[in-house]
Amino acid sequence: MRVVKEVRVRFMDKEASAIALFDTGSSYTVIRRGFFEKVFKATWTLMSRLVKLYLTNGRFVAADKYAVVTIVVNNVELSPPETVLILDEFVEKIELEGKRIRVPDIIISAGTMNKYNIVLDPKESVKVIGAGLLQLQEV
């Protein structure tokens, strides 16, 4: 199952809105390098070895960078912060049936959803039901 939803992503002292694809078929939580650089103007950490994975479209890619970010879903901060792979080969837009479609900035994997007890619900979209999460208060 897949659900697209707007989330907040925080890295160091910056926070930004991002379009997220919650994908129960994904093994890794990944973020577009272009989005990460544009929004956070920051560097990442190089991994000691490549991680090979397939994108939703079946295309093979390799990841060699990561960052530790905080993700906020439905005004709930997922804690502890999540390690995300940063993908170079992650296009911003695709053409599907003659329409240009924006690709999500971040893909939230099944492992991340399990870690924070996130449930995809046909009626309510994305529900965060995990314990140990921080509910953010509006000031």
Q: Encode pLDDT of 52-68 as tens digits.
A: 887 766 778 889 999 99
Map 56-71 to HEC letters.
Answer: CCCCEEEEEEEEEEEE
Question: 25, 16, 23, 4: which is closest to 103 by C-alpha?
Answer: 4
Facing residues of 17 across strands?
Answer: 8
Q: How confident is the model at residue 62, as a pLDDT?
A: 87
Does this model's pTM top 0.85? My answer is no
CATH class label, 2-133: mainly beta
Instruction: Report domain extents, the chain.
Output: 2-133
The mean pLDDT of 116-130, rounded to a whole number, is: 85
What is the reported pLDDT for 19? 93
Residue 10 has pLDDT above 90, yes or no: yes
Query: 133: number of CA atoms within 13 Å, CB side?
Result: 23
What local confidence, expressed as pLDDT, does residue 124 receive? 75
Q: By 3-state DSSP, what share of the chain in percent is helix, strand and coil, each rounded to 5?
A: 10, 55, 35
Confidence of residue 108 (pLDDT cuts 50, 70, 90): very high
